Each structure stands twice: as C-alpha cells, then as structure tokens.
Structure 1
Amino acid sequence: MYPKNVLLIENSMLDAILIKDCLQQNGDFCNINLFEDGFEAILHIGSILQNKKNEIPDLIIANEDQIIINGVNLLSKISDLTNIYIPVIILTSSGSELHPHFNKHSYCYLNKPLEIKEFLRVIKEVKYYWLSLVN
C-alpha cells in the first residue's frame, strides 16, 4: 500500500499533533502537510496542480472554526482548482447547524469533541474510513 497524502488545515498545534499521531499510528505512513489557514492550503493545492506533482492529497482535514476561509468557501476553492476527487472532512466545535453548499467533492462536517479520548476516536474513524476503505 502506498503512503497516503493528507492535507491538514489546523491552527491549534495540540489538535494538529493529536491528528498527525493518530493518522500515523500502528506503523501507517502518511505524508501530512500542515497549514495554519485555508488560504495557504489553497495556494499549496494550486502549486501541486500547476507543477503536476504526485502529492495530490488523498484526504483534506480542515478545522472550520479556525481557518481564514470558512468551510464552504474552502470547498468552493478546492472545486475551482481541480477535477480530481479529493474527500474533505471539516471539523467543527461550534455545533452550528450548517447547511453547506454541496459540490462535486465528497465532504462532511464532523463535530470536534472536546474530550481527548472521543476526539481520537473520531480521527481513528476518519482514518479507517477515508484512508483505508475509500482510498
């Protein structure tokens, strides 16, 4: 199995470390590119596509509450950049009842639990489903 490429947009370094450790648990290898805001991530994706590198993300995980470009705009920007299928997970701790604009990419909003064990459980489920079963 080839290494998975994950683009992580998270400005909480503690959450970023927990997510990275969870994704690489059990000897699984992931190339994780961490960005603290959505604008930097969009520039990175554009650079990948322009240079035709093989680093196209298999999964994007973004913190909706902390990125400069909100989740819906981030998804619109991603769909503007590529015809490639990239699943996107938007983590939210606001608990708001968002009704995002759907586009051609698969994505979902997940509540970001405040309790660490529950947070890790959610990330493990994301890893299992999106990096093992789907990709």
Structure 2
Amino acid sequence: MTTGRLKPIEILLVEDSPTDALLAREALGESRLFNQLHQVSDGVEAMAFLNQEGAYATAPRPDLILLDLNLPRKDGREVLAELKTDERFKRIPVIVLTTSHAERDILAAYNHHANCYIVKPVDFQKFTSVVQSIEGFWFAVVTLPPEN
C-alpha cells in the first residue's frame, strides 16, 4: 500500500492510558504506511498540540486524531466539541476510540461530528486489528481534504 505522499501521515493519539498508547504505537508500527504518531495524555495537551503552543510550537497538523473520551483535565467530549467548531480543525477526521459503550457518549460524539466511534477491544490482537483497519481505511481508501 502506498499513499502517494512524500511526507508521513501525521496521527495525533489523545490517550491517557500508557498501555493503550503503547498498543496503538505497536499496531501502527506494524503498518506498511509511513506514519508519525504523536501522543498526548489529556485534552489540554491535545489543544496545545493543535494550536502549536508551548512545547508543541513546532507540532505538525495531524491528518487524523484518535481520541479517547475519558481524559483528565479536559475530557474528549470537550475536545471534540471544540475541534469541530473551530474552522482550522473541523475537517480533521476524529476517530473516537474509547472504552465507553454508553449510548449517551455515542450520541454525543456523533452530535459533535465525530467521524466514527469505536469501542476499544481489550484483546491485543483485536486492538491491533482495529487500529490497522482505521489506518488502512483513512489513508488507503479515503481521500482527505486539504489543510486549508
């Protein structure tokens, strides 16, 4: 698989669980697509990354965001609402990747224009498969909008 891109696919993982972040990193590391994974552990850091503030002054604009809902400081629900109302970020695909099966969370995510909602599998092989299918679909099948 090739994407026809000369630069890596920039993925922002917003995940506070070190274990889940490691699983995502390993799954993406097995990919045949050239990607660069950036990870932040809460919603405040996610917004600083996107706004290129502080330690993230040179952060790249992500091509895709993998967003957990249950985060410290600013949760994923707030981040999603903020992203999708900001002209600079609203076209970045946001995949909610969370442990929540709650109908209210699913509805709220789609009401705030999440591109899809996936409940994290607990099994490593299934988790790897899910992450690789996300990457394969969003970067080998879908045509993404330009940055501006």
Structures share fold, TM-score greater than 0.5: yes
TM-score (norm 2): 0.76
Match of 1:102 in 2: 111
Quickly say closer, same or farther: Cα 1:11–1:29, change in 2 above 3 A.
same
Quickly say closer, same or farther: Cα 1:127–1:107, change in 2 above 3 A.
same
> Residues 43 and 72 of structure 2 are in contact (CA less than 8 Å); yes or no, is this contact kept in structure 1?
yes
Quickly say closer, same or farther: Cα 1:120–1:26, change in 2 above 3 A.
closer
Q: CA offset at residue 73 of structure 1?
A: 1.4
> Matched residue of 1:89: which SS?
strand
Task: Could you tell me which runs of 5 or more consecutive residues in structure 2 were left unpaired when the two chains were aligned.
Answer: none
- Aligned alpha-carbon RMSD (Å): 2.5
Question: Taking every aligned residue pair, what percent have the same amino acid on both sides?
Answer: 28
TM-score (norm 1): 0.82
Q: CA offset at residue 5 of structure 1?
A: 0.5
Q: Return the alpha-carbon distance in structure 1 between the equivalents of residues 32 and 133 of structure 2.
A: 16
Q: Return the alpha-carbon distance in structure 1 between the equivalents of residues 136 and 45 of structure 2.
A: 27
Task: Could you tell me which runs of 5 or more consecutive residues in structure 1 were left unpaired when the two chains were aligned.
Answer: none
Count of residues in Structure 1 that have an aligned counterpart in Structure 2: 132
Q: Return the alpha-carbon distance in structure 2 between the equivalents of residues 38 and 61 of structure 1.
A: 12
Structure 1 segments (4+ residues) deviating >4 Å = none
> Matched residue of 2:77: which SS?
helix
> Residues 52 and 59 of structure 2 are in contact (CA less than 8 Å); yes or no, is this contact kept in structure 1?
no
